[in-house]
Structure 1
């Protein structure tokens, strides 16, 4: 399997810069997930690795060999697209075997590769069916099987579950996780806009924004220690709440006096010179708690979404202010219109100055 290195990789279309200065090292056997807002370049970066898009600047190496000008078929990668792109007149067996037949591989080798892929993907009993006789999830498994038979160094997935309904997405996501466990030495790079896919599948997540990398890390690292406000609000659903204020007490526990009148305490350490500094604090909806005493925020509940396991409370805010959302465990009835005060444990309060977490200011 393969190790990938991207050094100063850039992509532009004429005068339009899409990506720049992408530096990323991917170890053998990692499951890397690219996430980011629409138009951030995550699919473009994947296609550059595949050789389907030309690299404008920088270098891409696979196992130490520069791949910038190597044709896609010679890079040792296999790609699974959003659409299944199966040949409708061919059986599952023939769809998976097609690339090997075109490459002139011996029949015995082709049969063994198809049988192995079918076993891994639990498609043994479907090999003689046509695609029209399969469900959407089964068709996507065939598309993955078509990649497996090529025995690539790197698997590339471009939003492979986006065309499936909610139930099939969950089932197929679990199957991809199981596939990763069955092929622990295989390097996989996966593009998605779905945070659940990213958090559950990835060994590391690469968050792309503004033409570059906003942060790279393990899923829970990005959730618990975001480097900046963008990552903090992008990872997690609903998005992290932000409250403006200024630092009123420094040290191992920081006190922040908020513009809306509340007070927050955070275990993010600050220095004496930070006194009076303008900051935003960030608190995830699931970390907010209702209190009868001093709180971070007090407001009237505007909308209640009772989901059974959790209840989402949406609060009225002044014109121009971002909405505030609390995600409380269990069922909370009769909250609409009530004035509620929210607080959070100090170790759940993030502090950002100029958009960057103070935890990383010396990094």
Structure 2
């Protein structure tokens, strides 16, 4: 059975939905049949269209709670419902936390954590009254789950956003599902600003297991899925869209040359050792130099029984007892005999069994 995603008749609001990842999300929702409202401080460079549909742009400064309330009121008045909210607005300039100072860090946290919280609260009355249930998608980042030097405040805000989504998934269930799309590196119109030239961008892409950066539309596809009925039982989840993540740096440090096969043919070298002439030699010879204490044993065993051959010198050592030569383990006999000599005192065997019940003087112990 083939199942397709059809969001026809549904209304979606995408914050920061006019450029970059946001534009990719807007177009993906349009392609799925939804009516899309994209809000941002600045209008897009041109109409956002896909599959014969065009997104509606509404300007709003999401840092202003009154502007957010006005935005949601307009959605209520014009559409009467809201099925999907995608909290995509966010971002950060690059810079060390200490150099930027507390005020800049506070603004970064405000944009990436407090703004999604404010918009979600303003949209909640519309979302919970939506027939069939509604969905909120937080656009997170891998920066929220790993160290983010140069964007520390941003990483902290994204970590908080993911936790906020899990908490709202519990508080707002079952009417509203809340999930997070955790993005890795995405190719946008500003990628060269962050990563450098086209060659440098390609080099960055090769660090990803899938050998490339994500496209904005692929982030949009993940949002469409979480907004659809196919994800009807998914809430409080984090969907990673990062191409497999990042290869740990310690692996490159520990193995600077991953292909070490050309260096391993040195293994046949032990076969040239003097004692490696026989077929099992390659397995035994490497151990003998590491255990020189065995050499005296081999040297003394050979002259004592030169005619016995190399396999039997150890078995000839207990030949003082002819009766024990036949059993398969004759070497065990000498050791027990030496141990039994001090354990055979004459007194205990001569005692009658009746004396076991009487108290023993100290001298008899």
Normalising by structure 2, we get a TM-score of 0.28
More helix by share: 2
Highest relative contact order (Cα 8 Å, sep 6+), 1 or 2?
1
More strand by share: 1
Normalising by structure 1, we get a TM-score of 0.28
